[in-house]
Amino acid sequence: MTRTEELAIELIRRDSITPRDAGCQESMIVRLEAMGFSIERMRFGDVDNFWARRGQDGPLLCFAGHTDVVPTGPIEDWVSPPFEPAIRNGLLFGRGAADMKASLAAFITAIEDFIATHPTHPGSIALLITSDEEGAAINGSVRVVDTLQARGTIIDWCIVGEPTSDQALGDTIKNGRRGSLSGTLTIHGKQGHIAYPQLARNPVHLMANALSELISTRWDEGNAHFPPTSFQISNLNAGTGAGNVIPGSAEIRFNFRFSTENTADTLKTRLHAILDRYELDYSLAWTLGGEPFLTPPGVLSAAISAAIRSETGRTPELSTGGGTSDGRFIKRIAGELIEFGPINATIHQLNECVALKDIATLSTIYRRTLENLLL
Protein backbone atom coordinates (compact mmCIF):
# COMPACT_ATOMS: atom_id res chain seq x y z
CA MET A 1 0.00 0.00 0.00
CA THR A 2 1.33 3.43 -0.92
CA ARG A 3 1.93 6.24 1.59
CA THR A 4 -0.92 8.18 -0.01
CA GLU A 5 -3.36 5.31 0.42
CA GLU A 6 -2.28 4.84 4.03
CA LEU A 7 -2.81 8.52 4.82
CA ALA A 8 -6.19 8.56 3.08
CA ILE A 9 -7.30 5.62 5.22
CA GLU A 10 -6.06 7.37 8.37
CA LEU A 11 -8.06 10.49 7.53
CA ILE A 12 -11.25 8.58 6.61
CA ARG A 13 -11.15 6.86 10.01
CA ARG A 14 -11.66 10.23 11.67
CA ASP A 15 -15.33 11.07 12.21
CA SER A 16 -15.08 14.64 10.90
CA ILE A 17 -18.73 15.43 10.19
CA THR A 18 -18.94 19.18 9.55
CA PRO A 19 -17.78 21.33 11.26
CA ARG A 20 -15.81 18.83 13.32
CA ASP A 21 -12.23 18.20 12.21
CA ALA A 22 -11.63 15.21 14.53
CA GLY A 23 -7.84 15.55 14.38
CA CYS A 24 -7.44 15.35 10.60
CA GLN A 25 -5.64 18.67 10.43
CA GLU A 26 -3.17 17.76 13.17
CA SER A 27 -2.25 14.60 11.24
CA MET A 28 -1.48 16.76 8.23
CA ILE A 29 0.34 19.41 10.28
CA VAL A 30 2.76 16.89 11.80
CA ARG A 31 3.93 15.90 8.32
CA LEU A 32 4.06 19.47 7.07
CA GLU A 33 6.17 20.62 10.02
CA ALA A 34 8.61 17.81 9.28
CA MET A 35 9.06 19.37 5.82
CA GLY A 36 9.80 22.82 7.20
CA PHE A 37 6.37 24.42 6.81
CA SER A 38 5.40 27.21 9.18
CA ILE A 39 1.92 26.52 10.52
CA GLU A 40 -0.70 29.05 11.53
CA ARG A 41 -3.74 27.51 13.16
CA MET A 42 -6.81 29.71 12.70
CA ARG A 43 -9.83 28.72 14.76
CA PHE A 44 -12.94 30.81 14.19
CA GLY A 45 -16.01 29.91 16.26
CA ASP A 46 -16.22 26.12 16.29
CA VAL A 47 -14.22 25.71 13.07
CA ASP A 48 -10.59 24.61 12.78
CA ASN A 49 -8.55 25.97 9.89
CA PHE A 50 -4.87 26.26 9.16
CA TRP A 51 -2.56 28.11 6.80
CA ALA A 52 0.81 26.47 6.14
CA ARG A 53 3.62 27.90 4.08
CA ARG A 54 7.12 26.83 3.06
CA GLY A 55 9.25 29.58 1.56
CA GLN A 56 8.89 33.35 1.39
CA ASP A 57 9.62 34.07 -2.27
CA GLY A 58 7.23 34.02 -5.19
CA PRO A 59 5.60 32.50 -7.03
CA LEU A 60 3.26 30.97 -4.45
CA LEU A 61 1.41 27.72 -5.22
CA CYS A 62 -1.37 26.85 -2.75
CA PHE A 63 -3.26 23.59 -2.26
CA ALA A 64 -6.68 24.14 -0.67
CA GLY A 65 -9.25 21.75 0.73
CA HIS A 66 -11.50 20.68 3.60
CA THR A 67 -11.32 17.98 6.24
CA ASP A 68 -15.03 18.06 7.10
CA VAL A 69 -17.49 15.65 5.51
CA VAL A 70 -21.28 15.51 5.15
CA PRO A 71 -23.35 13.36 7.53
CA THR A 72 -23.41 9.65 6.78
CA GLY A 73 -27.13 9.09 6.39
CA PRO A 74 -28.49 5.80 7.84
CA ILE A 75 -25.40 3.89 8.97
CA GLU A 76 -27.28 0.61 8.68
CA ASP A 77 -27.60 1.21 4.93
CA TRP A 78 -23.83 1.29 4.44
CA VAL A 79 -22.22 -1.99 3.35
CA SER A 80 -19.41 -1.26 5.81
CA PRO A 81 -19.31 1.39 8.58
CA PRO A 82 -18.65 4.82 7.06
CA PHE A 83 -15.70 5.62 9.33
CA GLU A 84 -14.13 2.17 9.13
CA PRO A 85 -12.36 2.31 5.73
CA ALA A 86 -12.83 -0.86 3.72
CA ILE A 87 -11.32 -2.03 0.43
CA ARG A 88 -13.50 -4.06 -1.92
CA ASN A 89 -12.91 -4.75 -5.60
CA GLY A 90 -10.19 -2.12 -5.83
CA LEU A 91 -12.33 0.60 -4.22
CA LEU A 92 -11.73 2.34 -0.91
CA PHE A 93 -15.04 2.92 0.89
CA GLY A 94 -15.76 5.46 3.61
CA ARG A 95 -17.37 8.85 4.18
CA GLY A 96 -15.10 11.48 2.68
CA ALA A 97 -13.13 9.02 0.56
CA ALA A 98 -13.72 11.07 -2.60
CA ASP A 99 -14.83 14.36 -1.02
CA MET A 100 -12.08 15.03 -0.22
CA LYS A 101 -9.73 13.00 1.95
CA ALA A 102 -8.06 11.25 -0.97
CA SER A 103 -7.09 14.68 -2.30
CA LEU A 104 -5.79 15.81 1.10
CA ALA A 105 -3.61 12.73 1.37
CA ALA A 106 -2.38 13.28 -2.19
CA PHE A 107 -1.50 16.91 -1.38
CA ILE A 108 0.75 15.82 1.48
CA THR A 109 2.60 12.99 -0.25
CA ALA A 110 2.99 14.97 -3.48
CA ILE A 111 4.69 17.75 -1.53
CA GLU A 112 6.82 15.24 0.40
CA ASP A 113 8.05 13.67 -2.83
CA PHE A 114 8.67 17.03 -4.46
CA ILE A 115 10.68 18.40 -1.51
CA ALA A 116 12.66 15.17 -1.14
CA THR A 117 13.91 15.66 -4.71
CA HIS A 118 14.02 19.49 -4.72
CA PRO A 119 14.72 20.62 -1.12
CA THR A 120 15.83 24.10 -2.24
CA HIS A 121 13.08 24.63 -4.79
CA PRO A 122 12.31 28.17 -5.93
CA GLY A 123 9.06 29.84 -4.98
CA SER A 124 6.77 28.89 -2.10
CA ILE A 125 4.22 26.18 -1.34
CA ALA A 126 1.18 26.72 0.89
CA LEU A 127 -1.89 24.86 2.13
CA LEU A 128 -5.22 26.41 3.13
CA ILE A 129 -7.31 23.82 4.96
CA THR A 130 -10.73 24.24 6.61
CA SER A 131 -13.36 22.12 8.37
CA ASP A 132 -16.30 24.31 7.30
CA GLU A 133 -16.77 23.67 3.58
CA GLU A 134 -19.66 21.22 3.87
CA GLY A 135 -21.49 23.29 6.47
CA ALA A 136 -22.33 26.93 6.95
CA ALA A 137 -19.05 28.09 5.34
CA ILE A 138 -18.92 31.23 7.46
CA ASN A 139 -15.96 30.45 9.76
CA GLY A 140 -13.82 28.53 7.31
CA SER A 141 -11.96 29.50 4.16
CA VAL A 142 -13.73 32.84 3.91
CA ARG A 143 -12.32 33.91 7.31
CA VAL A 144 -8.84 32.65 6.46
CA VAL A 145 -8.96 34.55 3.16
CA ASP A 146 -10.10 37.69 4.98
CA THR A 147 -7.05 37.39 7.25
CA LEU A 148 -4.63 36.77 4.40
CA GLN A 149 -6.12 39.56 2.30
CA ALA A 150 -5.68 42.03 5.16
CA ARG A 151 -1.98 41.12 5.19
CA GLY A 152 -1.64 41.59 1.45
CA THR A 153 -1.01 37.90 0.74
CA ILE A 154 -1.42 37.02 -2.94
CA ILE A 155 -1.59 33.43 -4.21
CA ASP A 156 -0.29 33.03 -7.75
CA TRP A 157 -1.79 29.59 -8.33
CA CYS A 158 -4.32 27.66 -6.25
CA ILE A 159 -5.41 24.03 -6.67
CA VAL A 160 -8.58 23.05 -4.78
CA GLY A 161 -8.85 19.29 -4.33
CA GLU A 162 -12.56 18.95 -5.07
CA PRO A 163 -13.63 15.72 -6.80
CA THR A 164 -13.99 17.03 -10.35
CA SER A 165 -13.42 13.93 -12.47
CA ASP A 166 -16.48 12.51 -14.20
CA GLN A 167 -15.94 9.09 -15.77
CA ALA A 168 -12.19 8.67 -15.29
CA LEU A 169 -9.50 10.37 -13.24
CA GLY A 170 -8.29 13.44 -15.08
CA ASP A 171 -11.11 13.84 -17.59
CA THR A 172 -12.36 17.12 -16.06
CA ILE A 173 -10.95 20.06 -14.16
CA LYS A 174 -13.00 23.02 -12.97
CA ASN A 175 -11.77 26.47 -13.94
CA GLY A 176 -14.75 28.32 -12.49
CA ARG A 177 -18.10 28.00 -10.77
CA ARG A 178 -21.51 29.57 -11.16
CA GLY A 179 -22.77 31.99 -8.55
CA SER A 180 -25.52 30.97 -6.13
CA LEU A 181 -28.25 33.37 -5.00
CA SER A 182 -31.19 32.14 -2.92
CA GLY A 183 -34.38 33.87 -1.87
CA THR A 184 -37.31 33.28 0.47
CA LEU A 185 -40.37 35.03 -0.94
CA THR A 186 -43.53 35.46 1.14
CA ILE A 187 -46.73 36.55 -0.61
CA HIS A 188 -49.16 38.14 1.84
CA GLY A 189 -52.88 37.61 1.33
CA LYS A 190 -55.86 37.37 3.65
CA GLN A 191 -57.05 34.18 5.29
CA GLY A 192 -60.72 33.30 4.96
CA HIS A 193 -63.39 30.64 4.54
CA ILE A 194 -63.06 28.84 1.23
CA ALA A 195 -66.81 29.23 0.60
CA TYR A 196 -66.50 33.05 0.84
CA PRO A 197 -63.54 33.93 -1.42
CA GLN A 198 -64.83 37.50 -1.80
CA LEU A 199 -63.91 38.06 1.86
CA ALA A 200 -60.35 36.76 1.48
CA ARG A 201 -57.29 37.18 -0.77
CA ASN A 202 -55.71 33.91 -1.81
CA PRO A 203 -51.91 34.40 -2.03
CA VAL A 204 -51.51 31.31 -4.21
CA HIS A 205 -53.81 32.80 -6.81
CA LEU A 206 -52.22 36.22 -6.48
CA MET A 207 -48.72 34.93 -7.17
CA ALA A 208 -49.59 32.58 -10.02
CA ASN A 209 -48.98 34.97 -12.93
CA ALA A 210 -45.81 36.41 -11.43
CA LEU A 211 -44.52 32.91 -10.76
CA SER A 212 -45.22 31.89 -14.34
CA GLU A 213 -43.21 34.84 -15.60
CA LEU A 214 -40.30 34.12 -13.27
CA ILE A 215 -40.18 30.54 -14.49
CA SER A 216 -40.33 31.48 -18.17
CA THR A 217 -37.86 34.39 -18.02
CA ARG A 218 -34.60 33.93 -19.89
CA TRP A 219 -32.17 35.56 -17.47
CA ASP A 220 -29.20 35.42 -19.84
CA GLU A 221 -27.77 33.29 -22.63
CA GLY A 222 -24.65 32.21 -20.79
CA ASN A 223 -21.30 32.47 -22.55
CA ALA A 224 -18.38 30.40 -23.75
CA HIS A 225 -17.59 29.30 -20.18
CA PHE A 226 -21.01 29.16 -18.47
CA PRO A 227 -24.47 27.80 -19.31
CA PRO A 228 -27.43 30.20 -19.08
CA THR A 229 -28.47 31.31 -15.62
CA SER A 230 -30.97 28.93 -14.01
CA PHE A 231 -33.94 29.89 -11.80
CA GLN A 232 -35.38 27.00 -9.79
CA ILE A 233 -38.05 26.75 -7.08
CA SER A 234 -37.05 24.39 -4.28
CA ASN A 235 -40.00 24.76 -1.88
CA LEU A 236 -43.56 26.12 -2.06
CA ASN A 237 -45.69 26.18 1.07
CA ALA A 238 -49.16 27.56 1.84
CA GLY A 239 -52.25 26.62 3.82
CA THR A 240 -53.21 25.58 7.29
CA GLY A 241 -53.76 21.94 6.49
CA ALA A 242 -57.52 22.38 6.55
CA GLY A 243 -59.47 21.88 3.33
CA ASN A 244 -61.88 24.76 3.90
CA VAL A 245 -59.46 27.62 4.67
CA ILE A 246 -57.94 30.05 2.17
CA PRO A 247 -54.33 30.60 3.33
CA GLY A 248 -53.18 33.97 4.56
CA SER A 249 -49.70 33.70 3.06
CA ALA A 250 -47.59 31.59 0.73
CA GLU A 251 -43.84 31.03 0.93
CA ILE A 252 -41.62 30.21 -2.03
CA ARG A 253 -37.95 29.33 -1.75
CA PHE A 254 -35.92 29.62 -4.92
CA ASN A 255 -32.36 29.69 -6.19
CA PHE A 256 -30.43 31.25 -9.05
CA ARG A 257 -27.31 29.50 -10.34
CA PHE A 258 -25.90 32.32 -12.38
CA SER A 259 -23.21 32.99 -14.92
CA THR A 260 -20.81 35.89 -15.22
CA GLU A 261 -23.38 37.52 -17.54
CA ASN A 262 -25.26 38.55 -14.37
CA THR A 263 -24.47 39.70 -10.85
CA ALA A 264 -26.47 39.18 -7.68
CA ASP A 265 -27.61 42.79 -7.87
CA THR A 266 -28.85 42.58 -11.46
CA LEU A 267 -30.85 39.44 -10.68
CA LYS A 268 -32.38 41.00 -7.58
CA THR A 269 -33.39 44.11 -9.52
CA ARG A 270 -35.02 42.14 -12.31
CA LEU A 271 -36.90 39.81 -9.97
CA HIS A 272 -38.23 42.68 -7.86
CA ALA A 273 -39.38 44.44 -11.04
CA ILE A 274 -41.44 41.39 -12.04
CA LEU A 275 -43.06 41.11 -8.61
CA ASP A 276 -43.80 44.83 -8.46
CA ARG A 277 -45.42 44.76 -11.88
CA TYR A 278 -48.11 42.46 -10.46
CA GLU A 279 -48.64 44.76 -7.46
CA LEU A 280 -48.09 41.97 -4.96
CA ASP A 281 -47.87 42.49 -1.23
CA TYR A 282 -44.69 40.56 -0.48
CA SER A 283 -41.53 40.32 1.60
CA LEU A 284 -38.30 38.84 0.31
CA ALA A 285 -35.11 37.75 2.09
CA TRP A 286 -31.97 37.12 0.03
CA THR A 287 -28.93 34.89 0.69
CA LEU A 288 -25.88 35.16 -1.54
CA GLY A 289 -23.98 31.86 -1.54
CA GLY A 290 -21.25 33.22 -3.78
CA GLU A 291 -20.54 35.21 -6.90
CA PRO A 292 -19.42 33.35 -10.03
CA PHE A 293 -15.71 33.13 -10.71
CA LEU A 294 -13.63 32.11 -13.70
CA THR A 295 -9.98 31.38 -14.40
CA PRO A 296 -9.42 31.60 -18.17
CA PRO A 297 -7.06 28.98 -19.65
CA GLY A 298 -3.55 29.94 -18.57
CA VAL A 299 -0.37 28.83 -16.85
CA LEU A 300 -2.05 26.81 -14.09
CA SER A 301 -4.52 24.89 -16.27
CA ALA A 302 -1.73 24.16 -18.75
CA ALA A 303 0.56 22.87 -15.99
CA ILE A 304 -1.99 20.52 -14.44
CA SER A 305 -3.29 19.39 -17.83
CA ALA A 306 0.25 18.41 -18.83
CA ALA A 307 0.64 16.49 -15.56
CA ILE A 308 -2.66 14.67 -16.13
CA ARG A 309 -1.66 13.70 -19.67
CA SER A 310 1.69 12.39 -18.42
CA GLU A 311 0.04 10.11 -15.86
CA THR A 312 -3.24 9.11 -17.52
CA GLY A 313 -2.96 9.91 -21.22
CA ARG A 314 -6.09 12.04 -20.94
CA THR A 315 -6.55 15.68 -21.89
CA PRO A 316 -8.94 17.17 -19.31
CA GLU A 317 -11.97 19.22 -20.25
CA LEU A 318 -12.33 22.62 -18.62
CA SER A 319 -15.71 22.91 -16.88
CA THR A 320 -17.64 25.35 -14.71
CA GLY A 321 -20.51 22.98 -13.87
CA GLY A 322 -21.60 21.68 -10.50
CA GLY A 323 -22.31 23.38 -7.20
CA THR A 324 -20.36 25.91 -5.20
CA SER A 325 -16.95 25.38 -3.59
CA ASP A 326 -14.55 27.33 -1.42
CA GLY A 327 -12.91 28.47 -4.63
CA ARG A 328 -15.46 31.32 -4.58
CA PHE A 329 -13.70 32.74 -1.51
CA ILE A 330 -10.08 31.94 -2.37
CA LYS A 331 -10.32 33.44 -5.85
CA ARG A 332 -10.34 36.88 -4.20
CA ILE A 333 -6.62 36.51 -3.48
CA ALA A 334 -5.64 34.00 -6.18
CA GLY A 335 -4.51 34.99 -9.65
CA GLU A 336 -5.34 31.58 -11.13
CA LEU A 337 -7.48 28.93 -9.42
CA ILE A 338 -8.60 25.53 -10.63
CA GLU A 339 -10.18 22.52 -8.94
CA PHE A 340 -9.04 18.97 -9.57
CA GLY A 341 -9.59 15.69 -7.80
CA PRO A 342 -10.97 12.14 -8.08
CA ILE A 343 -14.18 10.83 -9.63
CA ASN A 344 -17.26 12.42 -8.06
CA ALA A 345 -19.87 9.71 -8.82
CA THR A 346 -20.43 8.70 -5.17
CA ILE A 347 -19.87 11.93 -3.26
CA HIS A 348 -22.48 12.67 -0.54
CA GLN A 349 -23.98 9.22 -1.18
CA LEU A 350 -24.20 6.06 0.88
CA ASN A 351 -21.13 3.87 0.32
CA GLU A 352 -18.97 6.75 -0.92
CA CYS A 353 -15.79 5.39 -2.47
CA VAL A 354 -12.71 6.17 -4.54
CA ALA A 355 -10.66 3.87 -6.77
CA LEU A 356 -7.57 2.80 -4.86
CA LYS A 357 -5.35 3.10 -7.93
CA ASP A 358 -6.49 6.68 -8.48
CA ILE A 359 -5.23 7.82 -5.07
CA ALA A 360 -1.56 7.21 -5.86
CA THR A 361 -2.00 8.60 -9.38
CA LEU A 362 -3.57 11.75 -7.96
CA SER A 363 -0.51 12.33 -5.78
CA THR A 364 1.79 11.94 -8.77
CA ILE A 365 -0.29 14.42 -10.80
CA TYR A 366 -0.03 16.99 -8.01
CA ARG A 367 3.73 16.39 -7.77
CA ARG A 368 4.20 16.83 -11.52
CA THR A 369 2.18 20.04 -11.32
CA LEU A 370 4.53 21.32 -8.64
CA GLU A 371 7.46 20.56 -10.92
CA ASN A 372 5.79 22.18 -13.92
CA LEU A 373 5.13 25.39 -12.02
CA LEU A 374 8.06 25.84 -9.65
CA LEU A 375 11.07 24.38 -11.50
Enumerate the active-site residues. 68, 133
SS in 3 state form for the chain?
A: CCHHHHHHHHHHCCCCECCCCCCHHHHHHHHHHHCCCEEEEEEECCEEEEEEEECCCCCEEEEEEECCECCCCCHHHCCCCCCCCEEECCEEECCCHHHHHHHHHHHHHHHHHHHHHCCCCCCEEEEEEECCCCCCCCCCHHHHHHHHHHHCCCEEEEEECCCCECCCCCCEEECEECEEEEEEEEEECECEECCCHHHCECHHHHHHHHHHHHHHCCCCCCCCCCCCCEEEEEEEEECCCCCCEECCEEEEEEEEEECCCCCHHHHHHHHHHHHHHCCCCEEEEEEEEECCEECCCCHHHHHHHHHHHHHHCCCCEEECCCCCCCHHHHHHHEEEEEECCCECCCCCCCCCEEEHHHHHHHHHHHHHHHHHHHC
